[in-house]
Amino acid sequence: MTRPHIPPQLTQTLEDWLRHQSALRGISGNTRDAYQRDLLGFFGFLTEHFGNGFGLRTLRRLSTTDMRAWMGHERRRGVQPRSLARSLSAVKSFYRWLSERDAFDATPVLSVRAPRFKNSLPRPLDIQGAQAVLNEVANQTSEEWVTARDVAVVTLLYGCGLRISEALGLRGSDVPLTESLRIKGKGGKERLVPVLPAAQEAVATYAKLCPFRLSNDEPLFRGVRGGALSARQIQKVMQVTRQQLGLPATATPHALRHSFATHLLTAGGDLRAIQELLGHASLSTTQAYTAVDTAHLLEVYRKSHPKA
């Protein structure tokens, strides 16, 4: 579908907001791209909704009815409630900034309620499944240094609970890994993550075998041509691994981070400590893992209790 032409003034206003978000909140490149897609889609709808007269002035006069028309349009074209709620959040964030900058009342936009959706629980691997993944990743390629690289990345995801972007964001200056690693997560928030000997060893093995010079200011993990390793490559490694092990499609790189948190909680880890390790801004995000642990216990109960 061809995107309607968006007035240059709006495009520039959007760029100004994105720069503000990057400077004030330190949003990641992926978050910036998502915000841009959400707002361009919103502007595209409004351009068709209002016709040639749509511009910044119209944007300031948007009504609740206009917002409902946009949300209805999104649902009719198959956008799921969770995705629509995310897009609405981006639109509201933009409007808060714009209304402060241009001094107008943004209540009609800010008062719109997000669609309800059911939060899905994280789907971690069990301990045996996580260990099987680590073992199987080592069998994916005949190139020794590539194998060592993939094992190192996957070990960091499961052994340290890193996001894939955080693992791939490590630089040459981070090697050799010590007993703790300073990670810059979402929103530029920094945290200290303990590093297990297994992760230290896996990264050290990769660094020793890597055929490219690992300069301090360059990416630690490299692709086969020497450029920065992409998240897509690790996703492919996990895809092949789960197929070979017969694991569900939910066994993704991010599932290893979920597994890290769930296994810590099962072993008696403190919820707030796990929150710090994961870099969650809100404890409620971490509390999802207590539901996972409870669900697992109930499953075991149903399978083993004689009266279940």
**In 3D, which of 196, 188, 200 has the Cα closest to residue 279?**
188
In this prediction the pTM is 0.56
Superfamily covering domain 127-304: Intergrase catalytic core (1.10.443.10)
Instruction: Check 82, 86, 254, 296 and give the catalytic one.
Output: 254
**What pLDDT does 305 receive?**
40
**Do the domains 127-304 and 8-110 match in fold?**
no
Report DSSP state, residue 173: G
Active site residue 280: yes
Cα–Cα distance, 122 to 252 (Å, whole number):
11
Q: What is the pLDDT of residues 97-149, one digit of tens each?
A: 999 999 999 999 999 988 876 555 457 677 788 888 888 888 877 789 999 99
Active site residue 92: no
**What pLDDT does 74 receive?**
92
Instruction: Check 163, 222, 242, 263 and give the catalytic one.
Output: 163
Instruction: Check 35, 95, 158, 289 and give the catalytic one.
Output: 289
Superfamily covering domain 8-110: Tyrosine recombinase, N-terminal domain (1.10.150.130)
Q: What is the pLDDT of residues 58-110, one digit of tens each?
A: 888 899 999 999 999 999 988 888 888 889 999 999 999 999 999 999 999 99
Active site residue 254: yes
Active site residue 225: no
Active site residue 77: no
Average pLDDT, the chain: 80
- Domain ranges (residues) in the chain: 8-110, 127-304
Active site residue 163: yes
Q: What is the pLDDT of residues 161-176, one digit of tens each?
A: 888 888 898 999 999 9
